[in-house]
């Protein structure tokens, strides 16, 4: 298994990641605390789609004492937005609604330019503003959401990034990110730029502000470095809550990837694309209809079942019914795929409408120097 910010491959063992990264489980006690503070729970928490954290208990202590926190998350614009990207953002939106807090959203055109061999900066910047439409389309609060594309906000980030960089050695960056002597030097400075928004709210508000980062677990190496540096700069360590990955359409051992369109459903896909892609998706069912009826299937590896579980079917009773039926063979692969096609098509029809409207709202959300 490889899980770094720039590569995820193999069978991802999430328990092992908690051990290796040194993060914490989201315990039952913590779930109850979140539910109490938020007024309700979220199915992504109950189902362990968000499964790990750093200092979430500390953040809740602060919140309960009346100290408001802010949210920070982001996007690396290397292609069109797909459903895997939306998963943590949907949860982030819930957090914003329930806690009524600000969100800082970093779009890293600079990162994708230095990391991706074949991408021009003009292209990553263009994609950055295009991806921002997907963020806005999810309905974040325009008065409390600040989206910035790095190269157009770097003046505000640079002084913070410099202070982080000064306290981060090359050997730390090498060890945490797997850099070597052939890595371009843009990448060795880059982690300081992703750390900067953790302290930006404190800089902007002239006081220490607790920050919670909802993001997939592959981003955790950044927070490790940032948390080491924070006390040296006089700031709070950022807290984090980590999600699993939505698998690629070709099977549970894969992540959705923008560079492989057949593995992925993009937010701009047509109903025909959605139907074609989901119909072809990896199935955990029996080899034939007869075999499936006799022996049943495995919803834990079935891609359509997993998309419903992780993102598209919030009703846990329905999930249980569906999974039980699938295991017994009463529910077929075709049934599950038809249900998912309907859910995804409905979602995208609505999303695409809002995405169009977002073009007019962009200015309200974007921070520039």
Contacts of 203 (CB under 8 A, 6+ apart): 160
**Smallest distance, Å, CB 271 to ligand TRP?**
27
Q: Does 54 bind ligand TRP (CB under 6 A)?
A: no
CA 227 to chain centre: 19
Interface stretch with ligand TRP, choices 28-36, 72-80, 162-170, 175-183 (CB under 6 A):
72-80
Residue with tokens 């937005």: 81
Q: Which of 10, 56, 69, 65 is nearest to 30 (CA)?
A: 56
Interface stretch with ligand TRP, choices 95-103, 105-113, 204-212, 267-275 (CB under 6 A):
105-113
Distances (CA, A) of 143 to 66, 67, 119, 358: 21, 19, 33, 14
Q: Does 108 bind ligand TRP (CB under 6 A)?
A: yes
Give the x-and-dash track for 1-20 against ligand TRP (CB under 6 A): ----x---------------
**Smallest distance, Å, CB 264 to ligand TRP?**
14
Q: Does 106 bind ligand TRP (CB under 6 A)?
A: yes
The secondary structure of residue 218, as a DSSP letter, is G
SS3 of residue 52 by DSSP: strand
Residue with tokens 């040194």: 22
d(CA 296, CA 204): 56
Given a contact cutoff of 8 angstroms between Cβ atoms, the answer to whether 241 and 50 are in contact is yes
Identify which of residues 145 and 194 has a Cβ nearer to ligand TRP in the complex.
194
**Smallest distance, Å, CB 82 to ligand TRP?**
12
* Contact with ligand TRP (CB under 6 A) among 60, 76, 87, 243: 76
Identify which of residues 242 and 343 has a Cβ nearer to ligand TRP in the complex.
242
**Smallest distance, Å, CB 45 to ligand TRP?**
18
d(CA 273, CA 266): 9
SS3 of residue 193 by DSSP: helix
Q: Answer positive or negative: Cα dihedral of 103, 108, 109, 112.
A: negative
**Smallest distance, Å, CB 191 to ligand TRP?**
9
Identify which of residues 76 and 296 has a Cβ nearer to ligand TRP in the complex.
76
Q: Does 258 bind ligand TRP (CB under 6 A)?
A: no
Q: Does 74 bind ligand TRP (CB under 6 A)?
A: yes
Q: Which residues in this chain contact ligand TRP in the complex, by CB under 6 A?
A: 5, 72-76, 106, 108, 111, 194, 213, 215, 219
């Amino acid at each position: 298994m490889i899980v770094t910010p720039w590569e995820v491959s193999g069978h991802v063992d999430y328990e092992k990641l908690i051990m290796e990264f040194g993060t914490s489980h989201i315990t039952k006690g913590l779930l109850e605390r979140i539910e109490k503070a938020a007024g309700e729970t979220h199915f992504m928490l109950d189902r362990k789609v968000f499964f790990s954290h750093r200092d979430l208990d500390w953040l809740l202590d602060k919140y309960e004492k009346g100290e408001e926190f802010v949210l920070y998350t982001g996007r690396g614009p290397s292609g069109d937005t797909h459903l895997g990207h939306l998963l943590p953002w949907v949860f982030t939106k819930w957090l914003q609604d329930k806690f009524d807090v600000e969100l800082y959203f970093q779009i890293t055109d600079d990162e994708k330019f230095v990391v991706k061999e074949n991408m021009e900066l003009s292209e990553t910047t263009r994609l950055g503003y295009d991806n921002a439409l997907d963020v806005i389309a999810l309905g974040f609060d325009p008065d409390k959401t600040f989206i910035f594309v790095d190269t157009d906000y770097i003046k505000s980030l640079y002084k913070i990034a410099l202070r982080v960089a000064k306290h981060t050695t090359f050997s730390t960056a090498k060890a945490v990110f797997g850099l070597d002597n052939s890595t371009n030097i843009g990448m060795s400075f880059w982690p300081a730029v992703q750390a900067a928004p953790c302290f930006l709210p404190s800089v902007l508000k002239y006081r220490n502000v607790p920050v919670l980062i909802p993001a997939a677990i592959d981003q955790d190496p950044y927070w490790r470095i940032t948390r080491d540096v924070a006390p040296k700069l006089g700031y709070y360590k950022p807290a984090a809550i980590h999600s699993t990955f939505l698998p690629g359409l070709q099977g549970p051992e894969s992540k959705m990837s923008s560079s492989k369109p057949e593995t992925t459903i993009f937010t701009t896909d047509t109903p025909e694309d959605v139907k074609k892609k989901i119909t072809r998706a990896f199935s955990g069912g029996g080899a034939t209809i007869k075999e499936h009826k006799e022996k049943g299937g495995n919803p834990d590896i079935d891609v359509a079942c997993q998309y419903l579980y992780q993102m598209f079917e919030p009703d846990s009773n329905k999930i249980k019914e569906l999974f039980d039926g699938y295991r017994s063979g009463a529910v077929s692969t075709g049934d599950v795929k038809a249900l998912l096609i309907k859910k995804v098509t409905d979602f995208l029809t609505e999303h695409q409408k809002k995405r169009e409207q977002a073009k007019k709202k962009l200015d309200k959300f974007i921070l520039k120097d």
